[in-house]
Amino acid sequence: MTTPDILLTQDRGAVRILTMNRPEKRNALNTALTQALLDGLRAADASDSVAAVVLAGAGKGFCAGADLSEFKDLTPEFPQRVDERAELSMQLHLAFAKMAKPVVTAINGAAMGGGAGLAIAGDLAVMAASATIGYPETRHGIVAALVMANLVRQVGRKHAFELVSLGEALTSQQALSFGLVNRVVPDADLMSQTMLLAEKLTAISSPAMKATKQLFHEVADLPLEEALKRGRETNKRMRAFRKA
């Protein structure tokens, strides 16, 4: 069961803002919030009135990662619970790439572990100047497992290994230099700048945006020849949705 206010939903024009709302836990991802996020992203993607999504965190932090208080129930003695939670987390991180509509993340504060994974899972990311991001799992004797695949794809092997092995947090400027985010802005301007970017995305025709995003994620993981073939097919289909 999800708590009704654990994820806040607000529409501003064609932009849907999803705000993780566990500020007392730094928006740590328990099962309820993870499920609410997955449902919220899917609902936004299915809505005809939504053209772009903004993901934000309430309070001073973006997302602290997994809620450690649930770990006592996620042990080898409860294999079904472990399997279900791992599957849910995987589906959440996969949802961003599967959506037809673009997602912009507004990183207002610390984004750690699974929270860092969410922060960079969006198609674009705007980061407050005072915010930090990192993958501290090894410092707790665990592995940044589910978030590693996307991290390697986005920043390359050397940067990614540094992040997941040392577990050191990056400043906003370091995150920008690593290619983790698109913009670093003053804290007070975070939401206005994020909304500006999201509103620009809503001005793009829906068929063009959908095809662009789908092809983008396909070619990122394909050998060059196969990627060019996918591009060729999209190029031919493009004639059907070009403006007259």
The lowest-confidence range among 45-49, 79-83, 112-116, 172-176 is 79-83
C-alpha distances (whole Å) from 196 to each of 13, 104, 108, 199, 208 are: 12, 10, 16, 5, 20
Task: Indicate which residue of 70, 84, 137, 225 is catalytic.
Answer: 137
Q: Which two tokens stand for residue 19?
A: 């705000």
> Looking at domain 7-201, which CATH architecture does it have?
Alpha-Beta Complex (3.90)
The total of other beta-carbon atoms located within 10 Å of residue 88's CB is 15
Query: What's the mean per-residue pLDDT of the chain?
Result: 91
Catalytic annotation on 77? no
Distance CA 114, CA 194 (A): 21
Q: What pLDDT does 4 receive? A: 58
Q: Which two tokens stand for residue 78?
A: 């409860």
Query: By the 8 A CB rule, do 94 and 147 touch?
Result: no
pLDDT at 218 over 50: yes
Q: Which residues pair with 138 in a beta bridge?
A: none
Q: Which two tokens stand for residue 204?
A: 């793009």
Query: By the 8 A CB rule, do 64 and 15 touch?
Result: no
Is the whole-model pTM more than 0.75?
yes
pLDDT at 50 over 90: yes
Q: Which two tokens stand for residue 36?
A: 């609410």
State the helix-helix crossing angle for 114-121 and 79-98, rounded to 10 degrees: 20
Distance CA 106, CA 127 (A): 6
DSSP class of residue 66?
B
Give per-residue pLDDT as tens, 63-116: 999 887 776 665 666 677 778 888 999 999 999 999 999 999 999 999 999 999
Percent of the chain with pLDDT over 70: 92
* DSSP reduced 3-state for 44: helix
Q: Which helix (H) or strand (E) segment is 139 a member of?
A: none
75 phi-psi bin (left φ>0, alpha ψ -120 to 50, beta other): beta
* DSSP reduced 3-state for 132: strand
